[in-house]
Structure 1
């Protein structure tokens, strides 16, 4: 579904990514872990078109998308969320949900049914008429997560989705993610919350200093000596 080949990226004299390779298959949940500054967010930015790689290629559904604009990648079915919340803070929760779907030219009925179901999944229905800025940080992150689903993206890249969550909210996020995955969504997730990423990932990728240290079974990656030294230790 998504394939990254020999992806490299420099910022001045700093190498943010070095020959990164991995593949995402349909309905997988790929977790990406690594210390701060390891290149995780740069990797997502490069896949989605915010950064242009210095070397390597990105393939989506057998199409080389390395040079196409961010907007075109989104239209192909690649969605994402960001570390820094990008909600319309003065609009209501309901309005935030409907805005992304308008560009897809869905019927009003379909948009509203989808928005209602997603809000119900994350227990935000009672706040649908509240301005987004009045929600807690955790609630805002849940809103941004389900708002991304309104675009009907086939694969969604999540950058630190549980940052700022109350512990009780983490389970809501996990349950929602797994339910959407059962419905066919594919996810790539950057996350520092190791218990959460271990619970949801079908495959784990550990990176440090812009390089992939190991990828594969989450338990094996989690316990690998190189990973423990670079990140968990």
Structure 2
């Protein structure tokens, strides 16, 4: 049984990723800030729930302690929790980086002892090509016209954290993903995106890599991306 934790999984890509991994036989823990929404999602999926707010150290420690007590290890960690701020000011910047970047550090550090007990530990960061210098400076890319400074900057940080963790933890696979433009609550204002099922398949692909799979990469469905 593969033990998997997905942050921000009560809706959107995280929820659909959980559904697909459950179908593959994973034991999936839904991590969500809101207890009521998280428990409702877990019941709908037939998964487990842990209250997990990536911006709160105590919440993160408690969630990983729960998994440790129940399972003794963690095989797959999916960093899916994220926010998109349209304001451009100090408080919005702090919220963006606390969730999209610092949250990755909090959860990863708490999860490392459990991941080291796995025979095939894998970490997937749902990042974005909006954080790629190559993409946002290329007029032929859709990211060129996105006015999302804080989201882009925080996702660039998320990708860099992924690469740095891959270097410092050679026994664990760390890969970042551009899941593709997806129709979720977060992107509703832009009226863009494909069904979550298609993007979640890309998360699942990286979450189910074999022991010899790549690490330290930034990918989309076509392969590695420059950034």
TM-score (norm 2): 0.33
TM-score (norm 1): 0.32
Larger Rg: 1
Q: Identify, as 1 or 2, the structure richer in strand.
A: 1
Higher relative contact order (CA 8 A, sep 6+): 1
Q: Identify, as 1 or 2, the structure richer in helix.
A: 2
